[in-house]
Amino acid sequence: MSEEPTVIGAGSRLTEVTEGEWAGWLTWAGDAFEQRAGPFYERRDADGRMMSAFRAEPRHMNGAGFMHGGCILTFADSALFSIASDAMQNSRGVTMQLAGDFLAPINVGQLVEARGEVTRGGGKTVFVRGMITANGTPALSFNGIIRKISDR
Amino acid sequence: MSEEPTVIGAGSRLTEVTEGEWAGWLTWAGDAFEQRAGPFYERRDADGRMMSAFRAEPRHMNGAGFMHGGCILTFADSALFSIASDAMQNSRGVTMQLAGDFLAPINVGQLVEARGEVTRGGGKTVFVRGMITANGTPALSFNGIIRKISDR
Amino acid sequence: MSEEPTVIGAGSRLTEVTEGEWAGWLTWAGDAFEQRAGPFYERRDADGRMMSAFRAEPRHMNGAGFMHGGCILTFADSALFSIASDAMQNSRGVTMQLAGDFLAPINVGQLVEARGEVTRGGGKTVFVRGMITANGTPALSFNGIIRKISDR
Amino acid sequence: MSEEPTVIGAGSRLTEVTEGEWAGWLTWAGDAFEQRAGPFYERRDADGRMMSAFRAEPRHMNGAGFMHGGCILTFADSALFSIASDAMQNSRGVTMQLAGDFLAPINVGQLVEARGEVTRGGGKTVFVRGMITANGTPALSFNGIIRKISDR
């Protein structure tokens, strides 16, 4: 069992991790399911593009010993918003559609990363496609649609 | 916070719940992620068809206060195998593809259920489509493809 | 090669067919691609729900002798709007997303039909899922999302 | 209305076009639907990767005057096999699943191109994702699954 990182300001949205493997990354500390399923981490890479990551732990596995499809899709749903964050321009949004092709199993100890691109932004609907890798090997090709919502 | 049900024989695959709201239902007690994300429950309904269910708890919610898309998709991935269980004929399988249209938010306290049908079985590939409802209202229309694998 | 039915008022939108196998059905006579790819026909069934149909001809086949996936998806895209027609309430719309699982090949001479349901309407986005059958056998399970657009 | 190119050896599979805008490209001359819906053309680009293309004509349009979604998806289904051609290693195959996100309308006269990549090959199932552009603008993000079949 891994130690879970210390987060600060858990009531807020994106929180910077201050210790451990993920120090310097951001996490959605106020998102109960995402913290429980992951936690997942995100930051800008050297090219300025958002990427997401976490390390596969025993708690993420299914009964057959590899990562549960639901865990991978939860990470994809999280990465969807990370990839779209510039296109969202501070709007909130909801997932309208999410689909994934499972390309390879993910095992305990592997570094799981997600990268992608906005294929259409600009309006109220943001289209994203991305790829999740495990130690660099493609594991889930995914695409999703986010609908911006007004905050009022 | 709800009490989590007592399960017996946690090392085995499908385990009958013996106490609480889900007494008489089956759960994948040996599936670490599914127990953590859910747990989810399944049984045959009055028509003999498999159905899955769980109750929405605070731990299933995202930062905006409704159920995380990843939680709903994890439940869909679990329901996929429940719906396909007769078509699987005791084979094991892996999810090859899963897609979902998000139709309505799910809130704390709601009864979440999944039902569906095998649209093509018989070979090594099983196609499923299903619907997740919350207190009876459609919340996720999903479809998935399972690939049977040999056990050896 | 089949005779193609006579349609009247080809400049308008939905046109009633007056002769041949499809007499009494409606077709999108002003839609160049759909007339060329199909034509496809639609009407309300005995339950008042929209259904679509056409008969598989040699011109719909691929090089292997069964119906081209693109022909089936074109029919699905047409059926999407037929299934959604009540939910559209006279708005125009565009397909935002369409996906299909191919369940069985379709052969020359078979009667191809599409039926489905709106899984979410009411707003600007209409979600549909449907099934295409060939002589009654499931051939394509599909789902799509329509975005209503203003006419101005 | 454009002149349709002259093709040679229409009974065979991939045929080289010898005249007109598409001279030097290959087309599936024996595929009745694809010739009728398109025709579509393919070749290796400067990097050795397969690409597909055609020019939007009035016959590809829907009743609203832009390209029919079914035409775009038919082109995507064709491009799927083009992108996968090296991974197919001379096997035949059928489309198991195809999905597309519609990003922008396509108009008469535009050059429509498709490029993509195999995200998983090597086994009996080939996963592909691709992008269709119109005059360089993304118009359809698509992904598909091909199942290899034995010839006999």
D78-135 tens-digit pLDDT:
999 999 999 998 889 999 999 999 999 999 999 999 999 999 998 999 999 999 999 9
Mind telling me how many Å the CA of A50 is from chain B's nearest CA? Answer: 19
Mind telling me how many Å the CA of B96 is from chain D's nearest CA? Answer: 10
Contacts of A105 in chain B (CB under 8 A): 94
Contacts of D127 in chain A (CB under 8 A): 101, 103, 141
* Interface mutation vs chain D, best among A80, A106, A119, A127, most D CBs within 10 Å: A119
Joined together, the tokens standing for residue A62 give 């299914």
Chain C residue whose CA is closest to B131:
C119
| Contacts A–D by Cβ distance under 8 A | 41
pLDDT tens digit string along D36-84? 999 999 999 999 999 999 999 999 999 999 999 999 999 999 999 999 9
Mind telling me how many Å the CA of D94 is from chain B's nearest CA? Answer: 13
CB contact under 8 A, B127 and C99: no
Mind telling me how many Å the CA of D103 is from chain A's nearest CA? Answer: 6
User: Cβ of A97 under 8 Å from any chain C Cβ?
Assistant: yes
Please give the share of chain B, as a percent, with pLDDT higher than 90: 84
Q: Is residue D29 classed exposed, middle or buried when 0-12, 13-18 and 19+ CB atoms within 10 A define those classes?
A: buried
Mind telling me how many Å the CA of D95 is from chain C's nearest CA? Answer: 7
Hey, which CATH number is domain A7-149, 3.40.50.10490, 3.10.129.10, 3.40.50.10090, 3.40.50.720? 3.10.129.10
Residue B119 has pLDDT above 90, yes or no: yes
Give the C-alpha separation, C126 to C120, whole Å: 6
pLDDT tens digit string along C47-74? 999 999 999 999 999 999 999 999 999 9
Residue C61 DSSP code: B
Contacts of B60 in chain A (CB under 8 A): 32-33
CB contact under 8 A, B143 and C141: yes
Residue B5 has pLDDT above 90, yes or no: no
In sequence order, what are the residues at sequence separation of 6 or more whose Cβ sits closer than 8 angstroms to the Cβ of residue D104? A120, D134, D137, D138, D139
Residue C39 has pLDDT above 60, yes or no: yes
Query: In the prediction, which pLDDT does D5 show?
Result: 56
Residue C106 DSSP code: -
* Interface mutation vs chain B, best among A54, A67, A102, most B CBs within 10 Å: A102
User: Cβ of B98 under 8 Å from any chain C Cβ?
Assistant: no
The ipTM of this complex is 0.92
Q: How confident is the model at residue D4 (pLDDT cuts 50, 70, 90)?
A: low
| Contacts B–D by Cβ distance under 8 A | 11
Contacts of B131 in chain C (CB under 8 A): 119
Query: In the prediction, which pLDDT does A90 show?
Result: 81
Q: How confident is the model at residue A9 (pLDDT cuts 50, 70, 90)?
A: very low
Q: What is the mean pLDDT of chain D?
A: 91
Q: What is the mean pLDDT of chain B?
A: 91
Residue C7 has pLDDT above 60, yes or no: no
CB contact at 8 A, B17 and B5? yes
pLDDT tens digit string along C96-127? 999 999 999 999 999 999 999 999 998 999 99
CB contact under 8 A, A119 and D127: no
Residue D28 has pLDDT above 60, yes or no: yes
Question: Domain residues of chain C, as ranges?
Answer: 7-149
User: Cβ of C125 under 8 Å from any chain A Cβ?
Assistant: yes
Query: In the prediction, which pLDDT does D58 show?
Result: 97
Give the C-alpha separation, C107 to D23, whole Å: 33
Q: How confident is the model at residue D1 (pLDDT cuts 50, 70, 90)?
A: very low
Q: How confident is the model at residue B9 (pLDDT cuts 50, 70, 90)?
A: very low
DSSP H helices in A84-147? 85-88
Round to the nearest angstrom and report the end-to-end CA distance of chain D: 42
State the DSSP string of chain D. -PPPPPBS-TTSSEEEB-SGGGTT-EEETT-HHHHHH---EEEE-TTS-EEEEEE--GGGB-TTSSB-HHHHHHHHHHHHHHHTHHHHTT-EEEEEEEEEEE-S---TT-EEEEEEEEEE-SSSEEEEEEEEEETTEEEEEEEEEEEEE---
Counting as contact any 3 or more CB pairs under 8 A, the partners of D are A, B, C
Query: In the prediction, which pLDDT does D152 show?
Result: 43
User: Cβ of C147 under 8 Å from any chain B Cβ?
Assistant: no
Query: In the prediction, which pLDDT does B4 show?
Result: 55
Chain C residue whose CA is closest to D146:
C102
Query: In the prediction, which pLDDT does C77 show?
Result: 98
Nearest alpha carbon to residue D143 among D88, D93, D76, D86: D76
Please give the share of chain B, as a percent, with pLDDT higher than 70: 91
Query: In the prediction, which pLDDT does C9 show?
Result: 45
Contacts of B129 in chain C (CB under 8 A): 101, 129, 141, 143
Residue C46 has pLDDT above 50, yes or no: yes
Q: How confident is the model at residue B10 (pLDDT cuts 50, 70, 90)?
A: very low
Contacts of C30 in chain D (CB under 8 A): 63
Chain D residue whose CA is closest to A129:
D141
Query: In the prediction, which pLDDT does B89 show?
Result: 85
User: Cβ of B68 under 8 Å from any chain A Cβ?
Assistant: yes
Q: How confident is the model at residue B133 (pLDDT cuts 50, 70, 90)?
A: very high
* Interface mutation vs chain D, best among A143, A146, A147, most D CBs within 10 Å: A143
Joined together, the tokens standing for residue D6 give 């002259």
User: Cβ of D82 under 8 Å from any chain C Cβ?
Assistant: no
Q: Which among B37, B94, B105 has CB closest to A70?
A: B37
pLDDT tens digit string along B66-79? 999 999 999 999 99
Q: Is residue C7 classed exposed, middle or buried when 0-12, 13-18 and 19+ CB atoms within 10 A define those classes?
A: buried
pLDDT tens digit string along B62-113? 999 999 999 999 999 999 999 999 999 888 999 999 999 999 999 999 999 9
Query: In the prediction, which pLDDT does A152 show?
Result: 46
Query: In the prediction, which pLDDT does D90 show?
Result: 81
Residue C11 has pLDDT above 50, yes or no: no
Please give the share of chain C, as a percent, with pLDDT higher than 70: 91
pLDDT tens digit string along A108-149? 999 999 999 999 998 999 999 999 999 999 999 999 999 999
Query: In the prediction, which pLDDT does B11 show?
Result: 43
pLDDT tens digit string along A36-82? 999 999 999 999 999 999 999 999 999 999 999 999 999 999 999 99
Give the C-alpha separation, D38 to D12, whole Å: 18
